[in-house]
Amino acid sequence: MATVGKPLQFWTLDQTTWIAGHLGLWLILLAVLLCHGCASLPPGYGLPKTVSSALAHPEQTRLGQQFKAGSHQHSTNSGFRMIQVGADGFCIRMQMINAAERTLDVQYYIFRGDTSGRLLTDAVLRAAKRGVRVRVLVDDGETRAGDEQLNVFNAQPLIELRIFNPFAYRGHTTLFRSLEFMANASRLDYRMHNKLLVVDNAAALLGGRNIGDPFFQMNPESQFADDDVFAVGPIVQKLSASFDEYWHSDLAIPATALTDHSPAPDPANGQDQPTSSSDRLIYSKRAATGEPFNGILSGRLPLVWAAAQLLYDSPDRKQLTQGAENSLMERQLADAIKAVHTELLMVTPYLVPDGEGMQLFQSLRQRQVRVRILTNSLEAAVDESSMLLAHSGYRHYRIPLLEQGVELYEVRSLLGNVKGSGETARIARYGNYALHAKLFVFDRQKLFLGSMNFDQHSMHLNTEIGLIIDSPVLAEQLAARFAAMTQPANAYQLVLRPDGTADSPTLLWRTQEHGKAIDYTTEPSRSTWQKAKAGLLSLLPLDTEL
């Protein structure tokens, strides 16, 4: 099961010579970054911005007309459809953008410059060229080389790109971004984690998926299982209002105010390149089928109509006055959890509950509420930075959770049964599966779906968004997905070893290999080195930052 870790690599003589030769430049850049970092406000703060808002009359668009009858028939309820398959998450975004007639609002934590990101960028450009007004808001916390391809939007008069809480340094050298972060952590640690797409103020898509190949489960090297929900009806206008609030936030900086410091898009990788690679062809052909969007429009894939509550943090949550904390999304979600009577199902990629979260679980268990949680295993940490850090914090809570009576499962990186996983057997066989979904099922009557992980970063340092939907039908769909993902072929169930003592409890990882039950007494991992890194990180006092 484990693989051999990569050997340590050291600088070569040529690399060392290059660094020494450019030391003066590095020192100058460091000084500039530290000066910028000491500023409490982001670059471009306070510059004039255009004022705009969501489309006032969505019923005048084709999509608005399409769902008008259903909205009238179901009064104040909204229509929903779960999008569980990763590739469908990409396709419905392409199809919704292609269907836009008047307005398009795009809000994401991550918008990668990879195959899926470039294809979606192309679709946004085509929408603008046919007269659609486009607003794109992207966070700057996880920007990487290649993501600057979004700057192509700046040349389009009907597209406005804004960056939420940007770094002063607009390049992608990890060292420089890290130095700026350390110099101004109180500001730069505050991130917009929301994921939302709204077309013509008539249809919306939200959930846990960012824009990028791993989030659509079409990249063998990295497969993040996630969920979106497609929505129509009154809830869409509320989602648009949340977007407007972020769009007009002081932290939403026009990209044109930052372009003097931004690398220009590389023409060799630009949007004018033909769709020639096999990856682009696969994505394009899949989207060209029109599914699942056509199925929703025709009624072949029926919507579930239900009441829903929108939860989201203010973009200015850090400035909330004392006494206004109840407006925070974490408090509203905690209230929904406290109201559970019999069973709570939770799917979260990152599980770092801290004291407040542990008290919440304890209160449920004291009332004999069954609590079952699915999260990532160590071996599922395909992204060895954020995922390893999160796992290092999660390790502190496994035994206390089990002692409370919480049932704990960790998803395997190589699934034994792909049904319900959101991806195909062809991709799953690479063994790089990991969770990215954020789902809660309350008594199999209601569900929560959104961007919020059950960790300290989501609860205290990010802005988040999500829906609580009052639908036994959708709740049962997610419960079935939970059952599929926690079967022994797909997950490790953690149990306390019978030979452990009260003073020194130890863990077993219970699973199934080739149809036979097996208990692992040591934590499954990709390599001994991965396990060692997770152990070392767990010694650091980082839980409040995870």
Q: Which of 88, 227, 313, 436 is catalytic?
A: 436
Q: Which of 139, 140, 147, 438 is catalytic?
A: 438
244 flagged as catalytic: no
The C-alpha angle 148, 153, 155, rounded to 5 degrees, equals 115
Backbone φ and ψ for 241, nearest 5 degrees, come out as: -65, -35
Residues in the chain: 546
438 flagged as catalytic: yes
For residue 19, give both structure tokens.
């660094």
**Is the CB of residue 64 less than 8 Å from the CB of residue 200?**
yes
Which of 212-240 are b and which e, b meaning 16 or more Cβ less than 10 Å from the residue's Cβ? bbbbbbbbeebbbbbbbbbbbbbbbbbbb
In sequence order, what are the residues at sequence separation of 6 or more whose Cβ sits closer than 8 angstroms to the Cβ of residue 409? 372, 373, 374, 375, 485, 486, 491, 492, 493, 494
SS3 (DSSP) at 428: helix
Going by their DSSP bridges, the two strands 462-463 and 191-192 should be labelled as: parallel
Name the residue among 475, 485, 389, 498 with its Cα closest to residue 434. 485
CA-to-CA distance for 244 and 254, rounded, in angstroms? 14
In sequence order, what are the residues at sequence separation of 6 or more whose Cβ sits closer than 8 angstroms to the Cβ of residue 268? none
Q: Which of 105, 193, 228, 354 is catalytic?
A: 193
For residue 467, how many C-alpha atoms fall within 13 Å in the half-sphere facing its CB? Answer: 32
Residue 316 to residues 352, 375, 459, Cα–Cα distance (Å): 24, 30, 14
**Is the CB of residue 451 less than 8 Å from the CB of residue 208?**
yes
Name the residue among 467, 384, 9 with its Cα closest to residue 196. 467
CA-to-CA distance for 262 and 172, rounded, in angstroms? 10
Is residue 79 packed enough to be buried (19+ CB in 10 Å), middle (13-18) or exposed (0-12)? buried
Task: Give first-to-last CA distance, the chain, whole Å.
Answer: 28
Going by their DSSP bridges, the two strands 433-435 and 223-225 should be labelled as: parallel
Going by their DSSP bridges, the two strands 103-108 and 133-139 should be labelled as: parallel
503 flagged as catalytic: no
Task: Give Cα 288 to chain centroid, integer Å.
Answer: 25
195 flagged as catalytic: yes
200 flagged as catalytic: yes
Q: Which residue has the tokens 């149809």?
A: 515
Count the Cβ atoms, other than its own, within 10 Å of residue 336. Answer: 17
227 flagged as catalytic: no
Q: Which residue has the tokens 């703060």?
A: 45
**Is the CB of residue 304 less than 8 Å from the CB of residue 471?**
yes
Backbone φ and ψ for 150, nearest 5 degrees, come out as: -65, -20
Helix (H) or strand (E) holding 343: strand 343-347
Give catalytic residue positions.
193, 195, 200, 436, 438, 443
